């Protein structure tokens, strides 16, 4: 979903600025102290175990992540599920267990299945079907169908993290993302309200609690800030995720009879945006190439402006797999160090929490 042409151009211009980037990564120009920057386990330790499995969350916890991420969607019977996107078919055997239950677009939507049905599915590493066979997206990761995992509910995952917090004496945070609020609204479901109520039930309600609540949908985040949280007596830290418009990440309903249109994110990358976002959020979650000037490879205005507006900056997603480290960096660690030290981010979403913690702790 995230490789259309314009995105490839953006990332390639970032990569082409290699010489400038290497110059900037010299010690003289690094920020002196970014050792407090966060390590956010992206879908768990997903470089090692299937994303969003409880095993991947426990591993991320053991690897020392500061926060563990949960992407959240709803089932037909309103259970909150920890799944990256509204579909079941990229990580489960839903097509085998429930043939004929796909929508016209060929996808199996979690929102069309009950929790009891979803619990019958086996979950695995991300795959797509090529010539009828499952092909792993990241071939060197945990093998598909070599072990059995289950889709978890948000409650199951919060119980795991809070249980580990008790047994280890640590206080590791959570980083839930409300996925596709418009899709849920179209099915008569208020996913944001449901997630907030669940978080409150688990004791997350104040700004000082170890939770960041994230969403790509700016209108929904504003609604959470100005309507839902005040109504529920909550005041969580909110993070505005930033997508490329062409990804079609957030579809907005249009005038009656017209197809929904992708929300236009361009304004969020322009000077002045941080002040506007700071009116309703405590941080931004950009795609990492957005923070670097396409031509020079130097950090652009975004981190500086965000900090001036009082916003934290947590870019996504740092992966160590083959082909995922931009070529101007010697290795994953140098790539991370550049973003922590030179770009000056306040945390990163990473699939490899162990290596990220080690690097961050060395800063």
Please give the residue ranges that form the binding site for Ca ion (CB under 5 A). 71, 177
Task: In angstroms, give the least distance from the CB of 40 to ligand G3P.
Answer: 8
Interface of this chain with ligand G3P, residues 270 to 329, rule: CB under 6 A: 285, 316-317
Catalytic residues: 42, 84
Q: What H or E segment, with its residue span, contains residue 163? A: helix 154-168
Task: In angstroms, give the least distance from the CB of 114 to Ca ion.
Answer: 24
Residue 346 found at the interface with ligand G3P (CB under 6 A): no
Preceding omega of 63 cis (within 30 degrees of 0)? no
Q: Which of 67, 318, 349, 352 binds ligand G3P (CB under 6 A)?
A: 349
Whether the Cβ atoms of residue 252 and residue 323 lie closer than 8 Å to each other: no
Supply the DSSP string of 202-270, one letter for each residue.
Answer: TT--STTSSBEEEES-HHHHHHIIIIIHHHHT---EEEEE---GGG--SEEP-STTSPPEE---GGGGS
Residue 181 found at the interface with ligand G3P (CB under 6 A): no
Interface of this chain with ligand G3P, residues 203 to 232, rule: CB under 6 A: 214
Residue 240's alpha-carbon distances to 82, 137, 219, 284, 285, in angstroms, are 19, 27, 10, 5, 6
Q: Which of 21, 80, 123, 241 binds ligand G3P (CB under 6 A)?
A: 241
Q: Which does 241 bind (CB under 5 to 8 A by kind): ligand G3P, Ca ion, none?
A: ligand G3P
Residue 154 found at the interface with ligand G3P (CB under 6 A): no
Task: In angstroms, give the least distance from the CB of 332 to Ca ion.
Answer: 20
Task: In angstroms, give the least distance from the CB of 99 to ligand G3P.
Answer: 28
Interface of this chain with ligand G3P, residues 34 to 53, rule: CB under 6 A: 42
- CB within 8 Å of 146: residues ≥ 6 apart: 124
């Amino acid at each position: 979903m995230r490789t259309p042409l314009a995105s490839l151009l953006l990332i390639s211009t970032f990569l082409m600025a290699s010489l400038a980037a290497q110059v900037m990564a010299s010690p003289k120009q690094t920020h002196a102290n970014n050792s407090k920057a966060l390590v956010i386990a992206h879908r768990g330790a997903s470089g090692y175990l299937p994303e969003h499995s409880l095993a991947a969350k426990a591993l991320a916890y053991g690897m020392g992540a500061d926060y563990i991420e949960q992407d959240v969607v709803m089932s037909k019977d309103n259970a909150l599920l920890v799944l990256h996107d509204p579909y079941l078919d990229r990580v489960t055997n839903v097509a085998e267990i429930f043939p004929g239950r796909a929508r016209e677009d060929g996808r199996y939507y979690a929102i069309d299945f009950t929790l009891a049905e979803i619990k019958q599915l086996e979950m695995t590493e991300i795959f797509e079907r090529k010539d009828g066979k499952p092909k792993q997206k990241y071939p060197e990761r945990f093998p598909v169908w070599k072990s059995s995992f289950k889709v978890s509910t948000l409650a199951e995952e919060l119980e795991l993290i809070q249980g580990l917090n008790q047994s280890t004496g640590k206080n590791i945070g959570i980083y839930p993302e409300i996925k596709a609020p418009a899709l849920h609204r179209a099915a008569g479901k208020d996913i944001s309200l449901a997630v907030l109520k669940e978080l409150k039930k688990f004791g997350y309600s104040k700004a000082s609690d170890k939770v960041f609540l994230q969403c790509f949908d700016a209108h929904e985040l504003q609604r959470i800030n100005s309507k839902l949280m005040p109504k529920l007596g909550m005041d969580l830290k909110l993070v505005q995720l930033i997508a490329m418009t062409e990804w079609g990440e957030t579809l907005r309903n249009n005038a009656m009879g017209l197809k929904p249109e992708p929300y236009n994110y361009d304004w969020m990358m322009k000077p002045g945006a941080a002040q506007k976002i700071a009116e309703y959020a405590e941080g931004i979650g950009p795609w990492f190439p957005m923070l670097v000037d396409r031509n020079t490879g130097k950090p652009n205005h975004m981190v500086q402006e965000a900090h001036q507006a009082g916003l934290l900056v947590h870019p996504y997603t740092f992966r160590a797999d083959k082909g995922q480290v931009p070529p101007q960096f010697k290795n994953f660690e140098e790539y991370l160090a550049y973003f922590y030290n030179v770009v000056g981010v306040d945390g990163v979403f990473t699939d490899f929490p162990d290596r990220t913690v080690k690097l961050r702790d060395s800063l």
